[in-house]
Amino acid sequence: MIVTHEREKLIQAISFFALHTRKLGKTKLFKLLYFLDFEHFKQTGRSVTGLTYNAWPKGPVPVALYNEIEAPSDDLAAAIQFEKKEIQNGEMLTVTPKRVFSSDLFSAREMRLLRGLAQEFKDKTADEMVEATHLENMPWDQIYNKEGKKQAEIPYALAVRSDEREDVLRVAKERKELLESLSDESGIGIF
């Protein structure tokens, strides 16, 4: 697997949430990543991790990460430990970082979002996280309930109000093109 900038940010975001929240299992982790990506997209037109989320019954799920957790790739296994733990109602997957978190890859905005989400949801349970993603007129609700597209991908564009969507997407495209041209000119990959 090629380790991209987004992939490393995903691994670091998982590490950050593991260090700064309590009761971090698979469900809570998925919802925190969803909030991080969709809020960042709403502000900038780009996600942080590059994950794709689908509308599952308990909320948005990054299916690729969901599938990988059972047999993590080398880069993820080296950085994060996923372990099943017996709890009162059955079993829970715990998430523990194996290496020190580094903020080097994140912009100031991304770090504000990481900190804010960790603070807001620090002590929330998985059930409370599910409830937070099920709010009416939010992206999951739009796809799962209103459009009835169970298991379907949740478009990032739904994070932005319809009257702002065109502007946000245009600015994101222009920024991406600028960064790509700077990367081509310097020979240093920015992404």
Domain-located, residue 172: no
Instruction: Give every CB contact of residue 158 below 8 A, 6+ residues apart in sequence.
Output: 139, 142, 143
Domain-located, residue 186: no
Q: How far apart are the first and last CA of the chain?
A: 16
Q: Is the pLDDT at 191 greater than 50, yes or no?
A: no
Domain-located, residue 44: yes
- Which stretches within the chain are classed as H helix? 5-20, 26-44, 63-69, 74-79, 108-121, 126-133, 139-141, 162-186
- When divided into structural domains, the chain yields a total of 1
Q: Is the pLDDT at 67 greater than 80, yes or no?
A: yes
In the structure, what pLDDT confidence band is assigned to residue 4 with cuts at 50, 70 and 90? confident
pLDDT digits 0-9 by tens, 106-131: 999 999 999 999 999 999 999 999 99
Domain-located, residue 185: no
Residue 145's Cα: distance from chain center in Å?
21
Full residue range of the structural domain in which residue 154 is found: 5-160
pLDDT at 115: 98
pLDDT at 45: 87
State the Cα–Cα distance between residues 88 and 100, nearest whole angstrom.
31
Domain-located, residue 181: no
83-92, 97-106, 135-144, 182-191: segment of lowest average pLDDT: 182-191
Domain-located, residue 190: no
Domain-located, residue 89: yes
pLDDT digits 0-9 by tens, 93-107: 899 999 999 999 999
Domain-located, residue 188: no
